[in-house]
Amino acid sequence: MAVFIDLMLLGMLAITALRVIFLKDLFAVVMLFGIYSFLSALIFVNLDAVDVAFTEAAVGAGISTVLMLGTLALTGRKEKTNNHKSWLPLLVVVATGAALIYGTLDMPPFGDPNNPAQQHVAPRYIQDSPQEVGLPNMVTSVLASYRGFDTLGETAVVFAAAIGVFSLLGLPKRDRAAIESGLKSHLVLRVVAKLIIPLILLFALYVQFHGDYGPGGGFQAGVIAAAAIILYALVFGLPLATHVLQPSLLKVLAALGVLIYAGTGVVSLFLGGNFLDYNVLASDPIAGQHLGIIIIELGVGITVFAAMLAIFYAFAGQAERKNIP
C-alpha cells in the first residue's frame, strides 16, 4: 500500500512540475508551486520523514508562496512569450537526464536495509541516541546535539539571508497608518483570522517545546509563528502588523537567536567541555543534554521566526510603497 501511494504521489508531483514549464500565467505557476510543496510534504510523510514534511508544508506551501506572490505584485503576473530557440535547452536537458537515469541504475535498490547509507552512522544514531541524549525523537537529537555545529551554521545562514533582504529592500517604517491596506472589508476573513491566529501561535509553541518528543522543533515552530503574524498582516494590513511587532524589534530578535545558540556553545566551553557539548551544562549528562537542546532550539526558533517575518515585512513594504498615491 505504501508503495502504491508513493507511486501515485510521485507521479502527481511530476505532472505538476511538467505543467509549470508550459504555463505563462505566473500567478498560476506560483499556485501550482504551492500544490507541488504540499505534494512533496505528503511524500515525505510516506517516506517516514515526518519532521521534514512538517517543515516543507509550513515553508514551501506557506512562506515561499507568500513571498513569490509579493514579488509578482511588484513585477507583474504575465510572462512574455520568448523567441528563444527552445530546442537547444531541450537537447541539453534530455542528454543530461539520460546520463543521470543511466547513473541511477548503479544506485542501491530503494528501501533495502543493507544499503550503504544505512550502514555508516545511522545505526549509532538509532541505537545509542535514546540513551546518550535521552530524547525519543532521533531527528532532534542529531539536529541539536550530534550535529549541533552544523545547525549553528544553518541558523547563521538564515540570519545572513535576512540581512541580505534588508539591505536590498529595506524595512517598512512604522507610521504609515493612513495607507489603505489589507482586506479589512472582508468580514468573514476578519472573523476567521481572529479565531485562528491565537490557535496558530499556540500550536507554534507546542511544536517548539514538544520537538524533543514528537515531530517538530525550532525551525518548524519559527516558521509557523511567522505564518500566524503574516496572516494577520494580510488580513488586517501591514501598518497594524508593524504596530504589533515592530521591524526594529525583529532585527534584534534575529540576532538574539543566533547569539543564544552560539552563547550556549561558549558557556559549555567555559564549563570545561567542547563547544556545544551539553553534557557539562548540568550535573547529570542527560539533564545537560535536555537543557542544552531546549535552549538552542529556542535560539533557532527565535531567529527563524524573526528572519521569516522580517523578510515578509520587507516585501510587503515594497508593495505598500507602490500603493502610495
Residue closer to other proteins, measured from CB, 6 or 184 = 6
Query: Residue 136: CB partners within 8 Å, gap ≥ 6?
Result: 130, 212, 213, 214
The distance of closest approach from Cβ of residue 186 to other proteins in the complex, given in angstroms and rounded to an integer, is: 26
**What is the nearest approach in angstroms of other proteins to the Cβ of residue 67?**
6
110: left (phi over 0), alpha (psi -120 to 50) or beta: beta
Question: In this chain, which stretch among 103-111, 192-200, 228-236, 270-278 interacts with other proteins, using CB under 8 A?
Answer: 103-111
Residue 133 interacts with other proteins (CB under 8 A): yes or no? no
Q: For residue 129, what are the contacts with CB-CB under 8 A and spacing of at least 6?
A: 135, 138, 141, 142, 145, 146
Cα 29–Cα 19–Cα 32 angle in degrees, nearest 5: 35
8 binds other proteins (CB under 8 A): no
Please tell me the distance from the alpha carbon of residue 219 to that of residue 201, in angstroms, as a whole number. 14
**Would you say 112 or 284 has its CB closer to other proteins?**
112
Q: Does 261 bind other proteins (CB under 8 A)?
A: no
Nearest-angstrom CA–CA distance, 219 and 310: 16
Minimum Å gap between C-beta 188 and other proteins is 29
Cβ–Cβ under 8 Å, residues 212 and 293: yes
Which residues, 6+ apart, have CB-to-CB distance to 128 below 8 Å?
Answer: none
The length of the chain is 325
Return all residues near 183 (Cβ < 8 A) that are at least 6 apart: 189, 190, 234, 235
Asked if 111 is part of the footprint of other proteins (rule: CB under 8 A), the reply reads yes
Residue 304 makes contact with other proteins by CB under 8 A: yes
The verdict on 324 binding other proteins (CB under 8 A) reads: no
For residues 29 to 48, the per-residue mask of contacts with other proteins, x marking binding by CB under 8 A and - elsewhere, is xx--x--xx--x--xx--xx
- Return the closest-CA partner of residue 133 out of 281, 265, 290: 290
By rule CB under 8 A, what count of residues binds other proteins? 102
> What are the CA-CA distances from residue 251 to residues 16, 162, 169, 264, 300 (Å)?
37, 9, 14, 21, 15
Q: Does 126 bind other proteins (CB under 8 A)?
A: yes
If binding is defined by CB under 8 A, does position 1 make contact with other proteins? no
245 binds other proteins (CB under 8 A): no
Piece of 171-179, 215-223, 232-240, 267-275 that binds other proteins (CB under 8 A): 215-223
Of residues 63 through 102, those in contact with other proteins by CB under 8 A are 63-64, 67-68, 70-72, 74-76, 79-80, 82, 84, 86, 89-90, 92-94, 96-97, 100-101
In whole angstroms, the minimum distance from the beta carbon of 75 to other proteins comes to 5
Chain residues 159-188 in contact with other proteins, contact rule CB under 8 A: 161-162, 164-165, 168-169
- When asked if residue 207 is in the footprint of other proteins (CB under 8 A), the reply is no
Which residue's CB is nearer to other proteins, number 34 or number 243?
34
Return the half-sphere exposure (C-beta side, CA atoms, 13 A cut-off) of residue 209: 5
Is residue 248 a contact point for other proteins (CB under 8 A)? no
Q: Which three-class secondary structure state does DSSP give residue 250?
A: helix
Minimal distance, residue 294 CB to other proteins, in Å: 17
Residue 160 region by backbone torsions, left for phi larger than 0, else alpha for psi between -120 and 50, else beta: alpha
Residues numbered 271-300 forming contacts with other proteins, rule: CB under 8 A: none
The residues in 139-158 that bind other proteins, with binding defined as CB under 8 A, are 139, 141-143, 147, 150-151, 154, 157-158
